[in-house]
Chains A and B, each alone.
Chain A
């Protein structure tokens, strides 16, 4: 029961995090490094 709770809680948060990451453009393009960079 405790195993299930610990896994469900953390994996639930990991799923939310993964879904949020999908929507974020700055995952692949950093605004700090912006278009200014020519590299």
Chain B
């Protein structure tokens, strides 16, 4: 039943693309996020669905799209350099087979992040991609949310469509992504035109956000709790009544606490006592190992270089007999431990140049979104009120991801690379509409009055650069 439904949906979407080729771009994003072929794809397991959608999206853009307004920006250039660099490090990788395996999906995600902005030439396309990302991730989020609410959650227990702990279905990743999409949901509920804001949209958005908040509870991913905290702090910037917001958030937390399962508190307790927790201890050990490794291999050891690590550290083992509790430190030897942090993932695999590129790509994104937000926030003209909130939402989503990525090796998470692509598209679009608006004005206003008129809202020639 689910198989048939998903199969028909994908085929339908690909068929609709014949009329509007942009839908193929959406089809690719959908397939890459949800991976319907993993959910149960008995019809055509051998069909390389992702590849078909990718080729269709690219061919549709190349042959049928006007490409008016398509620009190749600096961030896309940086992504291209990163792609070239990871190709290079794969050639000298310490573990060639594993490196080739990871390269197999990383290059696609990077290529699509470079390609996506070229297709985002209209406001509606930008909105469509935002909506598709939210609804597709929303499928996993709603599934996990309901299961958590009905008592099916737990660390490593929550089952999300597939029996796999990979990609979006990895518990910490989905916890991070579900919190990161909350600002995007809020934007769609206020500024959407595909589903214009009404009571149904607001109700759905509210329920979806609630579901998103339940994912870190259901997966018991500690990173998720951290991400909720970051979101709470970030939202402070945009709310009008800060005191009411803080009060409301605090009372919400107080009301929610009694409903959280005991196992959740036990898991969250380990955030502070990291020396008693193996997962946290190994992280610190891996990070130290990676720093040493980068000193010896400053250009990076290629994908999966962590497989070469082995280290011994002391772990406290608590034994209780009757009323006495004894703590003994035992030596534990570990090997091939993953990075558990995007920063160290980049440092170990791609060395200092790779890490610098990755940081540059993300820092530039935060900065570009800030530029748009500041430039558009006071505008009230029709068609000019959605840019600042969208830039802000995408910036928040990225910031939440960045905090989450400090504790997970998700440097190339395809969903996030889509977000990067979306940001690039928004940046190019805003830059372009702004310069178009400036042109006729500059033509009309005499030289003496130009500075004054330009400085009003649009800051004239100092447009987004």
Contacts and interface: CB of A to CB of B under 8 A. Distances in A.
Interface of A: 2-11, 13-22, 24, 26-33, 36-37, 39
Interface in B101-145: 121-125, 128, 131-132, 135-136, 138-140, 142-143
Given A13-B135, A17-B128, A18-B26, A26 B122 contact: yes
Contacts of B1: 4
A17 B436 contact: no
Contact of A30 (B13, B20, B121, B150): B121
Given A10-B136, A14-B135, A37-B436, A21 B128 contact: yes
Contact of B2 (A7, A15, A19): A7
A37 B68 contact: yes
B300 to A, nearest CB: 39
Nearest to A30: B122
B450 interface: no
B195 interface: yes
B9 A15 contact: yes
A18 B123 contact: no
Chain B interface residue bracket vs A? 35 or more
Nearest to A24: B124
B135 A33 contact: no
Contact of A3 (B2, B131, B433): B2
Contacts of B146: 2, 5-6
Contact of B139 (A11, A16, A19): A11
Interface in B2-50: 2, 5-6, 9, 12-13, 16, 19-20, 22-23, 26, 30, 39
Contact of A18 (B23, B68, B124, B432): B23
Interface string B75-93: 0000000000000000000
Contact of B122 (A15, A16, A29): A29
B142 A6 contact: yes
B6 A7 contact: yes
23 contacts: A2-B143, A2-B147, A6-B140, A7-B6, A7-B139, A8-B5, A11-B139, A13-B195, A14-B132, A17-B131, A18-B16, A20-B194, A22-B19, A22-B23, A27-B124, A28-B122, A30-B69, A32-B433, A33-B69, A33-B122, A33-B432, A36-B440, A37-B68
Interface string B377-388: 000000100000
B69 A27 contact: no
Interface of B is mostly: helix
Contacts of B20: 21-22, 27-28
Nearest to A33: B69
B407 interface: no
Contacts of B6: 7, 11
Given A2-B147, A21-B128, A33-B436, 8 more contacts: A3-B2, A9-B139, A10-B139, A13-B135, A27-B20, A27-B125, A32-B123, A32-B436
Nearest to B1: A4
Contacts of B12: 15, 18
Contacts of B19: 22
A7 B20 CA distance: 24
Given A7-B6, A17-B128, A21-B124, A39 B68 contact: yes
Contacts of B16: 18-19, 22
Contact of A21 (B23, B65, B147, B383): B23
Contact of B195 (A4, A15, A17): A17
Nearest to A27: B124
B412 interface: no
Nearest to B70: A39
A7 B5 contact: yes
B333 interface: no
Interface in B291-320: none
B66 interface: yes
B161 interface: yes
Given A21-B124, A30-B124, A6 B139 contact: yes
B132 A17 contact: yes
A13 B128 CA distance: 12
A35 B455 CA distance: 26
